[in-house]
Amino acid sequence: MTQPLLAPIESARVTPGTHDGQGHGSLRGYLVGYFVAVLLTIASFLAAETSALTPSSVTAAITVLAIAQMLVHLIFFLHISTSPHQRTNVLAFAVTALVVAMIVAGSLWIMSHLESNMMPSGQTMQMQP
């Protein structure tokens, strides 16, 4: 009797574009993912070329579109979902995202402080012949 109650819960965790959430996608799922990815790519090119947005708005728009693009790839092509079978993949993705975020944050911090740590150009050492 508990079987019918669990079936809708498990079907809600199926990754979009897959038959049964087991990791292999359907042709329809791949095509949907492809067309959404193409639309996001076109939108990012349009955002970069428009004169209606300020430079900071263009940066924000491209960042949001890039994050959406990554989510489309994760869901439709890599089939990352919240199903119990995907727990290892989700944890591996989370650790990878954390490491990448730390590397990017560290690189940005180093680059932002690079100029203040450089020696002024008037005080460079002269090479003795």
Q: What is the pLDDT along the chain (129 residues), one digit of tens a residue?
A: 444 544 444 444 555 555 554 546 788 889 999 999 999 999 999 999 988 989 889 989 998 999 899 889 888 888 887 778 878 888 888 888 899 899 989 888 888 877 776 666 665 566 555
**Does residue 110 sit within a domain?**
no
Q: Domain tally for the chain?
A: 1
DSSP string for residues in 67-108? HHHHHHIIIIIS---SSGGGHHHHHHHHHHHHHHHHHHHHHH
CA-based radius of gyration for the chain: 23
Q: Does the residue 76 lie in any domain?
A: yes
* 59 located within any domain: yes
| 101 located within any domain | no
3-state secondary structure of 18: strand
Query: Does 90 reside within a domain?
Result: no
What pLDDT is attached to residue 41?
A: 95
Domain holding 11, by residue range, is: 3-83
Q: What is the pLDDT of residue 77?
A: 87
- Does the pTM exceed 0.85? no
Q: Answer yes or no: is 96 within a domain.
A: no
DSSP 21-52: SSSPBPHHHHHHHHHHHHHHHHHHHHHHH-SS
Q: What is the pLDDT of residue 14?
A: 55
Q: Would 21 be classed as within a structural domain?
A: yes
